[in-house]
Amino acid sequence: DNELPRPIESLYAALAETAALRKSLPVRQAVVHWFKMDLRLHDNRSLWLASQKAKDAGVPLICLYVLSPEDLEAHLRAPIRVDFMLRTLEVLKRDLEELGIPLWVETVEKRKEVPNGIRELMKGWGASHLFCAMEYEVDELRREAKLVRLLAEGEGDEKMVAEVVHDTCVVMPGALKSGSGGQYAVYSPWFRAWIKHVEENPECLEIYEKPGPNPPGIKEKYGHLFTCSIPEAPEGKRLRDDEKIRYHALWPAGEHEALKRLDKFCDEDIGKYAERRDIPAKQGTSNLSVHFASGTLSARMAIRTARDRNNTKRLNGGNEGIQRWMSEVAWREFYKHVLVHWPYVCMNKPFKPTYSNIEWSYNLDHFHAWTSGRTGFPIIDAAMRQVLATGYMHNRLRMIVASFLAKDLLVDWRMGERYFMEHLIDGDFASNNGGWGFAASVGVDPQPYFRVFNPLLQSEKFDPEGEYIKKWVEELRDLKGGKGGEVHDPYGRGSEEVKRKLEKRGYPRGIVEHSGARERALEAYKRGLARD
Ligand code: FAD
């Protein structure tokens, strides 16, 4: 356990300090729901609570989104992710308008001014109550603690309240305790406890209805709020026109797309998930991560839909593919629980302090060869080119390329973690940090440091015919696949003629030799750990 106070505790303290006011404050002219990473109408707990509050008081519901360019920068949001979020807001605005609910998008340049910006808007609207979902990143928890206290300040009619509610996980962080009363740092026992908790508390999978329509006549008072348009992406976060065309076709935005994709996956593919999930050339996974990351799909809805397709109607047992998929969705949640309990893991620190002594390399030639897909290791290059072309990478490959950067190249894993956030459409702080911690053996429940992925063996095992490699590495398209095939190791296995051809095409030779690099990594880890 770490010594730092947990930011979630300061938010809980702020909520406790304002509990009496939250209970007693009468609703004034409107209730506000603040959208953050919960960009959906269906199964949105905070939105549902806000709409019930407004309905009971007979006042309108107003929806708000705050765009802070400084925040997007600080969170390393990839332009492709920002674009997806803005397109999703368009969908949300249209859907809300049909219910007579306005969506107001406010741009607040500096992140620390967000709480005050919200307060001023609420004052102008005559709103007394704000609802929003809790986000578990450190800055967000601190910001919301400040907001809760700020809204409660003032006298009489100046007082407002904020309800910050759990919504992003099926089981809220802190609810699962190990035998010794602490937080689980290992996934398997955590997952067993998660299943038990969900089965014993069926309300965990209760789906919240979308809000009903606003009372008629809202436009007389709040008509100007319907004129708000969705802004352009801020400077530095804009896509080029050609990228927009490509990405919009690849990643249709909004919750309708998420629900369609979830249903299609559960109808057609989930049953075969266990066999196909590790083969990147096959479309064996759900591709739903972008929707989980933006909140266009709730984890509750995903788990419930999958569970209902299972012939046991339970989380445990039944179809292997369904069980496996639910356990993967739960990994996302595990890392959020970890983030809440050990916030320092997402502040550039390894989980175990002993891992702070490893001497990382900052060789930029190596790093750039990795980012541009020019390492000379076909499976690595294919994966890194996939992320550049699509903003996405298959899970097996995320593990392989992360291991390669941290172990074969000994490059500081935090450089890779950052690069992923800056390029992924599904960039999620907790899952990304967890994935890098696993692969570099510095996180919670990591793979042991002496396990180093062999890119060649991984390539032969998970892309035997080289189908995936050939899709992304044009220079290798006419090489032979199969076991022992040259496509996996072109300069090692190719004939002289093949090698000449590849040189002409400019495909690089391996930037390191794997077995030597592995030995070097093991020495560096051993040295680092011995220094403690
Ligand atoms: P599916 O296989 O269909 O899984 C369903 C859902 O379960 C996913 O959408 C995701 O929400 C969750 N999930 C699956 N595997 C994991 C996992 N290992 N950890 C956490 N959640 C998981 N996922 C992100 O959403 N954002 C990230 O920034 C991210 N960075 C990663 C970095 C590394 C180094 C590694 C090894 C993994 C990372 N992952 C991340 C996890 C995983 O690779 C992706 O969630 C998955 O590839 C998304 O594809 P899918 O939706 O088709 O997944």
Give the CA radius of gyration of the chain.
25
Q: Give the rounded percent of residues in the chain with a pLDDT score beyond 70.
A: 99
Query: What sign does the dihedral 407-78-425-170 (CA atoms) show?
Result: positive
**pLDDT beyond 70 at 3:** no
Q: Which two tokens stand for residue 53?
A: 């509050």
Which residue has a Cα nearest atom 44 of ligand 1?
A: 395
Higher pLDDT, residue 4 or 193: 193
Has 496 been annotated as catalytic?
no
Compute, in angstroms, the gap from residue 485 CA to the centroid of ligand 1: 30
Which pLDDT tens digit goes with each residue over 332-351? Answer: 999 999 999 998 887 778 88
State the chain's mean pLDDT as an integer.
Answer: 95
Which residue has a Cα nearest atom 3 of ligand 1?
A: 286
The closest-lying atom of ligand 1 relative to the alpha carbon of residue 426 is 26
66 DSSP β-pair partners: 106
Which pLDDT tens digit goes with each residue over 127-173? Answer: 999 999 999 999 999 999 999 999 999 888 899 999 999 999 999 99
Average the pLDDT over each of 93-102, 444-453, 464-473 and give the range with the smallest value: 444-453
Q: In testing the pocket of ligand 1, which one of 431, 433, 436 has its CB within 8 Å of the most ligand atoms?
A: 431
d(CA 32, CA 28): 11
472 is in an annotated binding site: no
| Residues recorded for the chain | 532
**Predicted pLDDT at 151:** 98
Has 432 been annotated as catalytic?
no
Residue with tokens 């911690």: 437
d(CA 369, CA 412): 15
Q: Is the CB of 18 under 6 A from ligand 1?
A: no
Residue 18 CA from chain centroid, whole number: 31
Of the candidates 195, 135, 164, 184, the one whose C-alpha atom is nearest the C-alpha of residue 430 is 135
**Predicted pLDDT at 4:** 59
506 is in an annotated binding site: no
Axis-axis angle for helices 7-17, 138-152 (nearest 10): 20
DSSP secondary structure, 122-149, as one string = HHHHTEEEEEEE---SHHHHHHHHHHHH
Residue with tokens 């899709």: 471
Range with the largest mean pLDDT of 26-35, 153-162, 438-447: 26-35
Q: Is the CB of 306 under 6 A from ligand 1?
A: no
Which pLDDT tens digit goes with each residue over 368-415? Answer: 999 999 999 999 999 999 999 999 999 999 999 999 999 999 999 999
33 DSSP β-pair partners: 63, 131
18 is in an annotated binding site: no
Compute, in angstroms, the gap from residue 394 CA to the centroid of ligand 1: 8
Give the number of C-alpha atoms closer than 13 A to the C-alpha of residue 139, restricted to the C-beta side: 13
Task: State residue 313 phi and psi, 5-degree precision.
Answer: 55, 25
22 CB-near residues (< 8 Å, 6+ apart): 15, 161, 163
Compute, in angstroms, the gap from residue 252 CA to the centroid of ligand 1: 19
**Predicted pLDDT at 313:** 83
Has 342 been annotated as catalytic?
no
Has 370 been annotated as catalytic?
no
**Predicted pLDDT at 1:** 47
164 DSSP β-pair partners: 132
d(CA 447, CA 388): 27
Please give the angle made by the CA atoms of 439, 440 and 445, to the nearest 5 degrees: 65
Q: Which two tokens stand for residue 529?
A: 């750990």
Which residue has a Cα nearest atom 28 of ligand 1?
A: 427
Of the candidates 295, 327, 299, 288, the one whose C-alpha atom is nearest the C-alpha of residue 169 is 299
* Cut 0.90: pTM above it: yes
Q: Which two tokens stand for residue 524?
A: 């560096």
331 is in an annotated binding site: yes
Q: Give the rounded percent of residues in the chain with a pLDDT score beyond 90.
A: 90
Predicted complex ipTM exceeds 0.85:
yes
**Predicted pLDDT at 225:** 97
Compute, in angstroms, the gap from residue 289 CA to the centroid of ligand 1: 6
Which pLDDT tens digit goes with each residue over 168-200? Answer: 999 999 999 988 888 999 999 999 999 999 999
Give the number of C-alpha atoms closer than 13 A to the C-alpha of residue 130, restricted to the C-beta side: 30
Has 125 been annotated as catalytic?
no
Has 360 been annotated as catalytic?
yes
Compute, in angstroms, the gap from residue 293 CA to the centroid of ligand 1: 10
298 is in an annotated binding site: no
**Predicted pLDDT at 204:** 97
The closest-lying atom of ligand 1 relative to the alpha carbon of residue 394 is 47
| CB-neighbour burial class of residue 35 (10 A; exposed 0-12, middle 13-18, buried 19+) | buried
Which pLDDT tens digit goes with each residue over 422-432? Answer: 999 999 999 99
